[in-house]
Amino acid sequence: MATTSAPAWAVGPESTFLVLAPQGQSTAKAVSRVAAAGGTVVARYDQIGVLVARTTNPAFQSAVAGAGVDAVASTGGLATALDDDETVAVVDSATVQATGDPTGEPLWGQQWDMTQIDVPQAHKVTTGSPDVVVGVLDSGISSTHPDLVTQIAKDKSASCIGGVVDTTEAAWNPTTSDHGTHVAGTIAAAINGVGVAGVAPGVKVASVKVVNDDGFIYPEAAVCGFIWAAEHGMRVTNNSYFIDPWEFNCRNDARQRPVWTAVQRALRYSQSKGVLNVASAGNSNVDLQHKFVDSGSPNDGSFPVEDRTITGACVDLPAEAPGVLTVSAVGPTKQKSYYSSYGQGVVDVTAPGGDTRFRTGGSPSTITDGVLSTTFNTVTKTNGWGYKQGTSMAGPHAAGVAALALSAHPNLTPGALASFMERTAVSLPCPSGVYNPVPKLVGYEATCSGGNRNGFYGAGEINAYNVVR
């Protein structure tokens, strides 16, 4: 009698794939096809019909195709480097008696960003509810930082590196980047007489680590992060990154389209679970409404950087995904930061992200015009405080204000919350003509379009007091 056995596949380097079942259908057939094609399912997101599979079969992509599999794509080379902005350490702050007032924090005098969005006035109404948890999808949060140790929801924190959940504390702490620690401090640094104050020090933050030790964000980690936040009661997530080594993910590109689909499914699922996802607009000074050439991608070293013609089918993920609150950056003058990307119909609101170049026209920098927050030295493993700038710093201001809004109005749905943030923002007018605060630098000209709602600032600068009064 003839017998059959599984095919003997060639062996190559281990690769990771996203495998998508048809929308709304079971992943059971896809799981079977992965096994038959010589792969192993390492994460299964039945909620959205997405599997993360690993395999050494170089023919896996063609072998897994068939009934029960809607799309498949290797994520190799589909990572993007986290834009980890410059940090300058601040002298360790002295400890003072906690007053319950953010202006009593030792480094408050250097937090121009907080007074700019009326945080002290908001705190007279509420500092936020501990029932509101903000997911920080980033490089991890230092669980020993004195300004954050009481602020982290450890039971809701996890690493999503590789698309696989790991809830051990070491896994969701930072290893090579303190970006997430800085973001977390802006959202919720405690009023405790030490260091700085966050926008919403009464709420909790959860570390959802999506940035690996090489500083890359792979699609499977982002998908895992959105699902984890949705399943663990987070009301807001902060996303200071873009997914893909190409800044723009093109749905008309066969390799990139499954990434778009998987991320879209994860975002929609999280929104259905009551999560508002906040995303940074990016630091490329790009008009996201009128983008025609991407000349800086891929940025992960997987292929040579190329000039690539892009169309309306190409979007910055997650910033341009439907339902996401997209945030541009302003400096201490409430004008667009020189680096901030923008775009009419793309940017929803703006927030302080710092601008260390406007005072000098481009050079040198004035670091105190950046955003001061919590830091972690990944070499010496010590906590501190320091300045960074970027739309990565603007996003958490908006996430913190959203958390205050939910504390005051807990029944807001994600769509209603986003609309409320926009309605309570302070309108900022377009600068006239060509805008360039840094003429000593090349390539930072920008033109604003629109009226009360415009491409630089969306509906305006977020305001902490307006959402709670």
The C-alpha atoms of residue 349 and residue 401 are separated, in whole angstroms, by 12
Structure token pair of residue 83 = 């834009």
Annotated active-site residue 244? The verdict is: no
Amino acid letter for position 346:
V
Q: Where are the alpha helices (DSSP H) in 67-214?
A: 112-116, 119-123, 169-172, 179-188
Query: Is 138 labeled as catalytic in the residue annotation?
Result: yes
CB 208 within 8 A of CB 228: yes
Instruction: Find how far residue 122's CA is from the centre of its chain.
Output: 25
d(CA 157, CA 400) in angstroms, rounded, equals 18
Contact between 402 and 417 under an 8 Å Cβ cutoff? The reply is: yes
CA distance 141 to 376: 9
**In the structure encoding, which two tokens stand for residue 426, read together?**
């302070």
Closest CA to 33 of 59, 65, 73, 56: 65
Largest CA distance in the chain: 85
CA 288/CA 449 separation, integer angstroms: 12
Strand partners, 349: 327
Alpha-carbon span 455 to 447, nearest angstrom: 9
Distance CA 237, CA 395 (A): 10
Strands 15-20, 314-315: pairing kind: unpaired
Q: Is 179 a catalytic residue?
A: yes
Pairing state between β 204-209 and 276-280:
unpaired
Query: 123, 392, 397, 407: which one is catalytic?
Result: 392
Other beta carbons within 10 angstroms of residue 56's beta carbon come to 15
Count of residues making up the chain: 469
Task: Please tell me the number of Cα atoms within 13 Å of 45 on its side-chain side.
Answer: 33
Residues 84, 317: Cα–Cα separation, whole Å:
18
Q: Is there a contact between 57 and 39 (Cβ–Cβ < 8 Å)?
A: yes
Q: Is 327 helix (H, G, I), strand (E, B) or coil?
A: strand
Q: What are phi and psi of 209, to 5 degrees?
A: -80, 120
Q: Are 353 and 371 in contact (CB under 8 A)?
A: yes
Options 118, 138, 287, 300, the catalytic residue: 138
Catalytic entry in 179, 182, 232, 397? 179
Rounded Cα distance between 179 and 138, Å, is 7
**Beta pairing class for 276-280 and 133-138:** unpaired
Active site residues: 138, 179, 392
